[in-house]
Amino acid sequence: VRNSMFWRKGANVSGIHIPPMVKTTPYAKRIAFVYKRYGDHSSSVYFRLADNYSFVSPVIGFNAYDATNTNDLKKLNLTIKRDNPILVKFDRYDDPQIRRIKCIAFGDNGSSNFSNTT
- Please compute the mean of the pLDDT values over residues 17-30 and round it to a whole number: 92
Q: What DSSP string runs through 32-70?
A: EEEEEE--SS-GGGTS---TT---SS--EEEEEEE-SST
Is the pLDDT reported for residue 51 higher than 80? no
Q: Is 4 helix (H, G, I), strand (E, B) or coil?
A: helix
Kind and range of the H or E run holding 3? helix 3-9
Is the pLDDT higher at 39 or at 60? Answer: 60
pLDDT per position as a tens digit, 36-47: 887 765 556 677
CB 23, CB 37: distance < 8 Å? no
- The rounded distance, in Å, linking the Cα atoms of 74 and 26 is 9
- Please compute the mean of the pLDDT values over residues 43-69 and round it to a whole number: 81
Domain ranges of the chain: 3-116
Is the pLDDT higher at 18 or at 103? Answer: 18
* Residue 44 confidence (pLDDT): 64
* Residue 61 confidence (pLDDT): 85
Is the pLDDT reported for residue 24 higher than 60? yes
Is the pLDDT reported for residue 97 higher than 70? no
* Residue 59 confidence (pLDDT): 83
Is the pLDDT reported for residue 56 higher than 80? no
